[in-house]
C-alpha cells in the first residue's frame, strides 16, 4: 500500500515541479500549466498503465499464497490508482482555480 501511495504522490510532485520550473523561467502561469502538463502526461500515464497491467494478472489468475487470495486487494489498488491518476491530471486545474 505504501508503494501505491508513493507512486501517486510522486506523480503529483513531478508534475508540479515541472510546472514550477517553467514559472521560475518567466512563463505565465497558464502557459506553464499547459506546457508542464503536456510534457508530464506521458510519464505519468506510463507509470499508471504499467502498474495496472501488472495488477491485472493477479486479478485474472486469482493466485493464492498459503490459502489467502489477493485478487480483491489488487482490485482495490487498481480502482485507487485509476481514481488518483484522474486526480493527478486535474491537479493543475485545481491550482489555477485556487490561484496558487
Domain count, the chain: 1
Whether 43 is in a domain gets the answer yes
Whether 100 is in a domain gets the answer no
Contacts of residues 2-10 at CB distance under 8 Å and 24 or more positions apart, as own/partner, are 4/51, 4/77, 4/80, 4/81, 7/47, 7/48, 7/51, 7/81, 8/81, 8/84, 8/85, 8/88
Whether 33 is in a domain gets the answer yes
Cell of 80: 485507487
Domain that holds residue 71: 2-93
Whether 26 is in a domain gets the answer yes
CA dihedral sign of residues 51, 43, 27, 32: negative
Whether 49 is in a domain gets the answer yes
pLDDT recorded at residue 7 = 75
Q: pTM to 2 decimals?
A: 0.68
Whether 99 is in a domain gets the answer no
Model confidence at 99, pLDDT cuts 50, 70, 90, reads low
Q: What pLDDT digit, counting tens, does each position of 35-86 carry?
A: 888 888 888 888 888 888 888 888 888 777 777 777 888 888 888 888 887 8
Amino acid at each position: 500500500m505504501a508503494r501505491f501511495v508513493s507512486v501517486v504522490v510522486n506523480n503529483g510532485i513531478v508534475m508540479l515541479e515541472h510546472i514550477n520550473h517553467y514559472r521560475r523561467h518567466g512563463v505565465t502561469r497558464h502557459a506553464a500549466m499547459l506546457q508542464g502538463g503536456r510534457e508530464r502526461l506521458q510519464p505519468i500515464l506510463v507509470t499508471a498503465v504499467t502498474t495496472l497491467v501488472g495488477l491485472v494478472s493477479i486479478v485474472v489468475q486469482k493466485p493464492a499464497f498459503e490459502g489467502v487470495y489477493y485478487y480483491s486487494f489488487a482490485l482495490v489498488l487498481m480502482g485507487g490508482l485509476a481514481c488518483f491518476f484522474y486526480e493527478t491530471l486535474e491537479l493543475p486545474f485545481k491550482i489555477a482555480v485556487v490561484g496558487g
